[in-house]
């Protein structure tokens, strides 16, 4: 990679970390690292140290850091029109809606600011459809899921995100993950929708079974419920398909998107079928900032770049190669319990807590992440060169060996 000009920030890494500790609401368990610049799959901290980014903003930086296509679109649109009320139409929003509808086969699109907002909109649309059809408003979700940080989305999510926020919104029910029998038993006339991630992200990169998704589709068709897919993390080419549901041949009625959609610019979307959209009337939902021209232009540039560079196929190929390599290595490293995922959404489950491995990876120049305590998550930029993907894998495996070796000393 070409050498990049070195920036001289006003503050050092330690000084910026201290500022954060003094003034920012302490809701994040921060790595004590202040990142000031990025290019491609590389980032630099305030002291000039370079890192390879295997986390990609948690699957957000789909095209790497500061992708030229998005930077150019952002600058051009900023000079034209940054924001306009949703009382009016803007070209980027109309074009993005059409683009997402064509890609997904879902005819209606609502543009949001984030994944949490996308799921919130999905819940509202599903309930409005259910009430129109004489059903209750209960939303069924699955253990280990994560759907956002709003009150409604934590009510649908894992119990650990709910503590201390009671009373939670009513009408959410959680059942065991990948349990088809439990799903059949849970569905009733009170059920409005089944909400599921085709691949759980925060839940440990756990693919939902084909049997469960097929049964969920059948139940929704037979009983007039909405099938809602949360593809906030696993959508937008992340798994080697435009949408993860394509691996299963199951189409949802409603789909939530965000993260990689803007390649770093905050934008999300809620998509639904024409049939479901018929339940929504003027004033039933809205947003001030969602769908602004700036965000929509960045999303369009992201989709163009993914398509123009054939990244869907690239991710499928590189993901298959990487998972085979990690699985082969795992057969020789007993500390690796399982390797799973699709495309460039991979999880390496250990037989011990992985925090020390993440720290060791950072010391070796690769930024990673551990979810569900023991699962090392790899969600790098979709266009990460093969050699850099190999380096991520090498550092991960070497770090596992190093940390496991310390434990035996």
For residue range 107-151, list pLDDT tens digits in order.
999 999 999 999 999 999 999 999 999 999 999 999 999 999 999
Report whether 319 contacts 177 (CB < 8 A).
no
Whether the predicted pLDDT of 6 surpasses 80 = no
Residue 407: predicted pLDDT: 72
For the chain, residues classed under CATH 3.90.1150.10 are 13-60+310-408
Axis crossing angle, helix 293-308 with helix 68-78, rounded to the nearest 10:
150
Pick from 380, 386, 352, 354: which is nearest to 366 by CA?
Answer: 380
Residue 1: predicted pLDDT: 47
For residue range 66-86, list pLDDT tens digits in order.
999 999 999 999 999 999 999
Residue 55: predicted pLDDT: 98
Classify residue 88 by burial, with Cβ atoms within 10 Å: 0-12, 13-18, 19+. exposed
Strands 35-39 and 42-45: antiparallel
Report whether 258 contacts 115 (CB < 8 A).
yes
H-helix or E-strand spanning residue 8: none
For the chain, residues classed under CATH 3.40.640.10 are 69-308
H-helix or E-strand spanning residue 193: strand 191-196
Q: Mean pLDDT over residues 9-20, rounded?
A: 91
The answer to whether the Cα torsion of 149, 150, 151, 156 is positive or negative is negative
- CATH topology for 13-60+310-408 is 3.90.1150
For residue range 302-349, list pLDDT tens digits in order.
999 999 999 999 999 999 999 999 999 999 999 999 999 999 999 999
Strands 254-257 and 268-272: antiparallel
| Strand ranges across the sheet with 172-175 | 108-112, 268-272, 254-257, 226-230, 191-196, 138-142, 172-175
For residue range 236-248, list pLDDT tens digits in order.
999 999 999 999 9
CA dist 213 and 255 (Å) reads 14
Classify residue 368 by burial, with Cβ atoms within 10 Å: 0-12, 13-18, 19+. buried
CA dist 268 and 55 (Å) reads 19
CA dist 137 and 131 (Å) reads 7
For residue range 261-279, list pLDDT tens digits in order.
999 999 999 999 999 999 9
- CATH topology for 69-308 is 3.40.640
Instruction: Let me know how many helices (H) and strands (E) the chain has, helices first.
Output: 13, 17
**Confidence at 10, pLDDT banded by 50, 70, 90:** confident
Percent of the chain whose pLDDT exceeds 70: 97
For residue range 184-225, list pLDDT tens digits in order.
999 999 999 999 999 999 999 999 999 999 999 999 999 999
């Amino acid at each position: 990679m070409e050498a990049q000009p070195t920036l001289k920030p006003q503050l050092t890494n330690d000084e910026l970390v201290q500022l954060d500790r003094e003034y920012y609401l302490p809701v994040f368990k921060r790595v004590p690292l202040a990142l000031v610049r990025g290019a491609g799959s590389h980032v630099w901290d305030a002291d000039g140290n370079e890192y390879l980014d295997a986390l990609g903003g948690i699957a957000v930086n789909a095209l790497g850091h500061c992708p030229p296509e998005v930077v150019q679109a952002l600058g051009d649109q900023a000079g034209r029109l940054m924001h306009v009320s949703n009382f009016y139409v803007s070209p980027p929003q109309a074009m993005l809606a059409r683009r997402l509808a064509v890609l997904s086969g879902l005819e209606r699109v609502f543009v949001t600011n984030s994944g949490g907002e996308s799921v919130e909109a999905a819940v509202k649309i599903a309930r409005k459809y259910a009430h129109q059809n004489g059903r209750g408003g209960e939303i069924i979700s699955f253990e280990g899921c994560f759907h956002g940080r709003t009150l409604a989305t934590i009510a649908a999510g894992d119990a650990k995100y709910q503590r201390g926020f009671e009373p939670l919104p009513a009408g959410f029910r959680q059942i065991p993950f990948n349990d088809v029998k439990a799903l059949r038993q849970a569905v009733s006339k009170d059920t409005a929708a089944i909400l599921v991630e085709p691949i759980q992200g925060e839940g440990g990169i756990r693919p939902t079974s084909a049997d469960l998704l097929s049964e969920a589709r059948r139940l929704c068709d037979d009983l007039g419920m909405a099938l809602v897919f949360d593809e906030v993390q696993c959508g937008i080419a992340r798994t080697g398909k435009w949408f993860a549901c394509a691996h299963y041949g199951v189409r949802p009625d409603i789909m939530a998107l965000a993260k990689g959609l803007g390649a770093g610019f905050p934008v999300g979307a809620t998509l639904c079928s024409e049939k479901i959209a018929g339940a929504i009337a003027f004033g039933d939902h809205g947003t001030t900032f969602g769908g602004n021209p700036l965000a929509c232009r960045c999303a369009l540039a992201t989709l163009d770049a993914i398509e123009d560079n054939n990244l869907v196929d690239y991710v499928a190929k590189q993901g298959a190669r990487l998972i085979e390599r990690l699985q082969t290595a795992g057969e020789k490293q007993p500390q690796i319990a399982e390797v799973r995922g699709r495309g460039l959404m991979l999880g390496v489950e250990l037989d011990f807590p992985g925090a020390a491995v993440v720290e060791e990876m950072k010391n070796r120049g690769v930024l990673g992440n551990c979810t569900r305590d023991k699962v090392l998550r790899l969600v790098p930029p979709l266009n990460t060169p093969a050699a850099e993907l190999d380096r991520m894998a090498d550092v991960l495996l070497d770090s596992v060996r190093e940390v496991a070796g310390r434990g035996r000393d």
